[in-house]
Chain A
Amino acid sequence: MSRRLAQIICAIFGVVMFLLFFSPHPAARTIALTITTEYWQVIYAFALIVGAVSFLRVNVKNIQRGQDSGYRIISLIGLVAMPTVAIIWGIGANTPFMWIFENIQVPLQSTVFALLAFFVASASFRGFRARSLPAAILLISAVVILLSRSWVEGQFASGLIATADWIRSYPSMAARRAILIGIGLGSLTTSLRVIVGIERTWLGGGR
């Protein structure tokens, strides 16, 4: 019964949101914004509690088992410390919360992001090997794009930039749009399958 109810609610909201997309009426806009912002925030707030409890449970259990205890203790300290300092001193400028955010969290995030440069290099090294004609075309295109974005000057550079722009605007864009049409149609059919109830895996049940 609970699954049937969830299915009915999903179908109603699916149809309503589809119709509201085409209506500029203030009432339609208000309903759409209420559903997507206020309802969603309520759902997310409850789910966040579930997520935090799950995070706590997984880490405590693994600390008890002695699995990667160091990392997990640091995670739990972060989980407790950030809300605590936010409640005591607030989250404005010049607060401990902001100091931790700017001096610990941001550098950590930047560090992980910086890894991307090395991963791009290693993936490119493996991927761009001219073992076949398509792979050779891919390699040449990559080299042209790469050089066009590098420090190259003079007549050669303008030709290179024009070639790179042509590759990006025509062959690359054509392939990208073809993929996007497929994704659009796939999204449409998946949404319809969910709305009409053909696809019910997301409810936790079978099809």
Chain B
Amino acid sequence: MLETILPAADPAWLDTGKLPTLVAAVIAIAVVLYTTYHRTSREAYRPRPIAGLRAVDDAIGRATEMARPVVFTPGWGGDIQRPTTIASMNILGQVAEKTALYDCRLIYPTHDPVIQSVAQEVVRESYARAGFADRFREEDIRFVSSSQFGYAAAVEGIISRQKPAAVLMLGTFEAESLIIAETGNTVGAIQIAGTDSTIQLAFFIVACDYTLIGEELFAASGYLSNDQAILASVRAQDMLKFVIAAVLVIAIIWALVIPDSRWWRF
């Protein structure tokens, strides 16, 4: 896959065709780093309320009251290199801290042994941080199958048999998304989903109670932890969105006034 992303072999050290992308990336990185490190101590960023993230506490509370587990799964589509999986891990850490505190069972089935190893560490540390290391159950963070529908069937089976009160589907999902979401719906679980796949988002919106759309998934760890450094980077994300919107508006007007112009087609 990387061979298709990488430029064709050339003796030059810089692909000039990618120069606009490099410039845009450097500007974006500069904005994020500046916003993150140059905030005054008085500045407290408050993100807009995100219903799906506010529901995480309710979902865990409900599971605790009903004495049923919480199922958290990152989907079949991603590996640990994907930013979505990292964002999902950050949310897992916050969720695990709460399940540890409430003594609620957390089941994490995954398709990737590398994700399983990382998730085990994340959950173990979260339980230790909450002060309940003894409540951590290593076997609940489990590798089920690397086959797509083997994984879907395994998660479906776990949901059908364990009847969790809450199902969190946060990560990269493909065709298994609706199979898992509909199974969760049949057992009456509160369902919170979030993915970077725009096709699967439509399924989640229909089948789940709450869906994190687009960048909400990446803002979740700052939202849940109220960590100001992370929230500052989320603010930078919003600023960049405004910049992109402004460039788009200027480009549209430019293209209407001077149809032959091509500067915006990089």
Residues of A participating in the B interface, judged by any CB pair closer than 8 Å: 18, 20-26, 28-29, 32-33, 36-37, 40, 43-44, 47-52, 54-55, 57-58, 61, 68, 71, 105, 108-110, 112-113, 115-116, 119-120, 122-124, 126-128, 176, 178-183, 185-194, 196, 198-199, 201-207
Please provide the chain B residues from 122 to 153 with a CB less than 8 Å away from any CB of chain A in the complex.
122, 124-125, 129, 138-139, 142-144, 147-150, 152-153
Cα distance A40–B81 in the bound complex, in angstroms: 10
Closest to A62 in B: B139
The interface residues of chain A lying within 8 Å CB-to-CB of B143 are 50-52, 54-55
Decide: A186 and B152 in contact? CB cutoff 8 A. Answer: no
What is the distance, in angstroms, from B152's C-beta to the closest C-beta of chain A?
Answer: 6
Interface size on B, residues (CB 8 A): 89
Query: Could you say which residues of chain B place their CB within 8 Å of the CB of A176?
Result: 198
A sample of 20 inter-chain contacts (CB < 8 A) reads: A18-B25, A22-B22, A47-B112, A57-B139, A71-B157, A110-B149, A112-B156, A120-B203, A123-B182, A123-B203, A178-B214, A179-B198, A186-B83, A187-B84, A187-B218, A189-B218, A199-B221, A202-B89, A204-B118, A204-B122
Most chain B beta-carbon contacts within 10 A, residue among A49, A113, A181, A198: A198
B127 CB to nearest A CB, Å:
11
Task: State whether the Cβ of B56 lies closer than 8 Å to any Cβ in chain A.
Answer: no
Among B9, B87, B112, B129, max chain A CB count under 10 A is at B87
- Pick from A187, A192, A201: contact of B221, CB below 8 A: A201
Complex contacts, B147 vs chain A, CB 8 Å: 105, 109
- Give the segment of B47-55, B65-73, B225-233 that binds chain A: B225-233
Measured between beta carbons, the chain B residues less than 8 angstroms from A179 are: 198, 201, 213-214
Residue pair A203, B9 in contact (C-beta under 8 Å): no
Contact present for B175 and A206 (CB under 8 Å) = no
B230 to chain A, nearest CB (A): 6
Candidates B22, B81, B206, B234; contact of A123 at CB < 8 Å: B206
Q: Which of A25, A37, A113 makes the CB contact (< 8 A) with B10?
A: A25
Please give 7 more A-B residue pairs, beta carbons under 8 A apart, in addition to A23-B13, A71-B157, A116-B178: A22-B22, A24-B10, A26-B9, A33-B6, A108-B153, A123-B182, A183-B214
Which residues of chain A are near B112, meaning CB under 8 Å?
47, 51
Given A207-B225, A207-B230, the answer on whether A50 and B241 have CB atoms closer than 8 Å is no
Given A188-B32, A206-B125, A112 contacting B179 (CB threshold 8 A): yes
A-chain residues with CB within 8 Å of residue B5 when the two chains form the complex: 21
CB-nearest residue of chain B relative to A112? Answer: B149
* B196: A residues at CB distance < 8 A: 183, 186-187
Say if the beta carbon of B262 comes within 8 Å of chain A.
Answer: no
Which residues in A have their C-beta under 8 angstroms from that of B259?
Answer: none
Contact yes or no, B3 A24, CB < 8 A: no
From A49, A112, A128, A191, B152 is in contact (CB under 8 Å) with A112
Give the A-B contact count at a CB cut-off of 8 A: 224
B33 touches A113 (CB 8 A): no
Least distance between A37 CB and chain B CB atoms (Å) = 7
B187 at the interface (CB under 8 A from A): no
Residues of B within 8 A of A105 (CB): 147
CB proximity of A167 to chain B, nearest CB, Å: 13
Task: Report yes or no: B215 in contact with A25, Cβ–Cβ below 8 A.
Answer: no
Contact A44 B113 (CB under 8 A): yes
B218 near A186: Cβ-Cβ < 8 Å: yes
- For the complex, give the distance between the alpha carbons of A202 and B147 in Å: 24
**Max chain B Cβ within 10 angstroms of own Cβ: one of A40, A113, A202, A203:** A202
- Min CB–CB distance A40 → chain B (angstroms): 8
Which 9 residue pairs spanning A and B have beta carbons closest together? A51-B113, A186-B218, A182-B214, A204-B121, A127-B206, A51-B143, A24-B10, A182-B215, A186-B215
CB pair B233–A201 under 8 Å, yes or no, is no
Shortest CB-to-CB span from B43 to chain A, Å, is 16
**Is the Cβ of A24 less than 8 Å from the Cβ of B233?**
no
Q: Residue among A21, A26, A192, A193 with the most chain B CB within 10 A?
A: A193
